Amino acid sequence: MRHREFHRTDRIGWLRAAVLGANDGIVSTASLVVGVAAAEASRSNVLIAGVAGLVAGAMSMAAGEYVSVSSQSDTERADLERERREIETQPEFERRELAAIYVGRGLEADLADQVAEQLMAHDALGAHARDELGIHEQLSSRPMQAALASACTFAVGAALPLLTVAIVPEGRLIPVVSSSSLVFLAMLGSLAARAGGAPLRVGALRVSFWGALAMGLTALVGSIFGSVA
């Protein structure tokens, strides 16, 4: 019976984009809502600002992730193409280079030469991609996947404070949106920590802290501009 091991590194790409998107959706939209509400705007104006923030933020997250991850993907492809040319033109040098890597990891020189020779014969580019360049299939960049994950999770995260605005009394918008958003952030941080194998409390506290700071600062700015308007 084949033994199967569970690893978390195969989900690191989409997990990062999803957590970042949802976290930004909650923090930015809740902060925007609290800031506008602190300026004594009406519920309709707060909702308009929040919806505009949701759309703009989701598109910004998608574009940012796509551009960023595409740049990483371009770099990976360029490195692989250069490595392919070197393998074709200098196979012996590349074999010795691979063997030296294995010696540095603890293999004896003779065994490292044998391993390098067999891996070069089986899949030379794959061996150099993994062991020289550090490019692994499960960690390779996927621009569209990252963009969609960021946009969708941002929209979901942003919808939570907007839903709160729509159902709570207008006079209690600031405390209810702030407190509920902190609860959402703590839950998100805990889920992300659990998926990544980190302590739940640490994950919850770090996102809650930055969320509280962002909402506090925007509420201060909103109250200042609201008083002079």
Q: Three-state SS string across the chain, please?
A: CCCCCCCCHHHHHHHHHHHHHHHHHHHHHHHHHHHHHHCCCCHHHHHHHHHHHHHHHHHHHHHHHHHHHHHHHHHHHHHHHHHHHHHHHCHHHHHHHHHHHHHHCCCCHHHHHHHHHHHHHHHHHHHHHHHHHCCCHHHCCCHHHHHHHHHHHHHHHHHHHHHHHHHCCHHHHHHHHHHHHHHHHHHHHHHHHHHHCCCHHHHHHHHHHHHHHHHHHHHHHHHHHHHHC
pLDDT value at residue 157: 92
Structure tokens at 82: 């250069």
pLDDT value at residue 80: 75
pLDDT value at residue 163: 93
The model's pLDDT over 53-89, given as tens digits with 9 standing for 90+, comes to 999 999 998 898 888 878 877 777 787 778 788 777 8
**Residue 229: band (very low, low, confident or very high) from pLDDT cuts 50, 70, 90:** low
- How far, in Å, CA of 104 to CA of 96, rounded? 12
Per the model's pLDDT, the better-predicted residue between 145 and 222 turns out to be 222
CB 214 within 8 A of CB 27: yes
Angle at 23 between CA 22 and CA 28, to 5 degrees: 105
Statement: residue 6 has pLDDT above 50: no
pLDDT value at residue 26: 93
Indicate the pTM of the whole model: 0.69
| Identity of the residue numbered 75 | T
CB 224 within 8 A of CB 34: no
pLDDT value at residue 133: 67
CA atoms within 13 A on the CB side of 17: 26
pLDDT value at residue 59: 92
Closest by CA to 36, choosing from 218, 227, 229, is 218
Per the model's pLDDT, the better-predicted residue between 156 and 116 turns out to be 156
